[in-house]
Amino acid sequence: MIISISFSLMLLSLMITIWRSFYLDTLGTTSALRLVTRPRGASFSMLVLPSYYEKKIRAVRGVVDVARCNLFAGLYRNERSENAFAQIGTDPRSFLDVHPDYKIAAYQAASWESDPAGAIADRALAEKYGWKLGDRLLLRGSTVPVNLELIIRGIYDAPVPTQSVIFNWDYVEQSDSSISGLNNLYLVLTDSPESINRVAADVDALFRNSTEPTRTETEKAFELEFLEMLGNVKGLIATLGMAALFTTALVSANTMAMSIRERMQEIAVLRTLGFNRKRVVALCIAESIALSSAGALVAAFSSYCLLFVIAHFSEWRLYSGVLRITPLSLLLLLATAALIGVLSAVIPSYRATRIPIAKALRHTG
Q: Are 70 and 186 in contact (CB under 8 A)?
A: no
Query: Could you tell me if 222 and 314 are in contact, meaning their C-beta atoms sit under 8 angstroms apart?
Result: no
- Entry pTM: 0.68
pLDDT by 10s per residue, the chain, length 365: 778 778 888 888 878 777 776 666 555 567 789 999 999 876 767 888 999 999 999 999 999 999 999 989 888 988 777 788 889 999 999 999 999 989 999 999 999 999 999 999 999 899 989 999 999 999 988 777 788 999 999 999 988 778 899 999 998 888 877 788 899 999 999 999 899 999 999 999 999 999 899 999 988 888 777 666 555 667 777 787 888 888 888 888 888 888 888 888 888 888 888 888 899 899 999 988 998 889 888 888 888 887 777 666 545 555 555 566 778 778 888 888 889 889 888 988 888 888 888 887 886 65
Q: Which CA distances in Å does 151 have to 32, 70, 139?
A: 32, 18, 11
Beta-sheet pairing, 214-218 with 86-90: unpaired
Dihedrals phi, psi of 300, to nearest 5 degrees: -65, -40
Angle of CA points 201, 161, 145, to nearest 5°: 75
